[in-house]
Amino acid sequence: MTLWRVRGEPGGPETRLASFSRAVLMRQFRRVPDLHARIEPIEVPALTLGTLLDRYRVTAVDLLQIDAEGFDFEVLEMLLATDHRPPVIGFEHLNLSPADKLDCARVLRDHGYRYSSFGRDTVAYRPPARGGHE
């Protein structure tokens, strides 16, 4: 996949800013001088969350914490394309578009999650089934 990163200034430290979304990086223009000229694409190996879980024969996921700089909704969708439904999912909603925030809320509700957003983060949980424990 293409990962967009911000090169450090010549002779300076790397910025450590990177995202699969170039638009997310462009929002950092106040923090990074000459941002537009310093963003560059790099190709990185990638696989889906489902492939990762299968490759390592993961049988249960108790907690999924996502901080993917604007790619959080895509990771959530990858999870929900598997049979795994962790009781708790945390993710950073700060870099999601308004449309992705709404879609994320809908998808979570559709899969039986309740959620609470605060600051830049959202925590979703699946309540126990009525009359029993999960």
Residue boundaries of the structural domains of the chain: 2-43, 49-125
5 Cβ neighbours under 8 A, 6+ residues apart:
15, 17, 18, 25, 39, 40, 42
Contact between 89 and 123 under an 8 Å Cβ cutoff? The reply is yes
Beta-bridge partner residues of 3: 42
Q: Which pLDDT value is given to residue 131?
A: 61
> Per-residue pLDDT tens for 7-30?
877 766 677 789 999 988 888 777
Question: Which mean pLDDT values do the consecutive 10-residue runs of the chain (134 residues) have?
Answer: 86 78 84 82 95 96 94 95 96 92 96 95 90 56
CATH code for the structural domain at 49-125: 3.30.110
Q: Which pLDDT value is given to residue 6?
A: 86
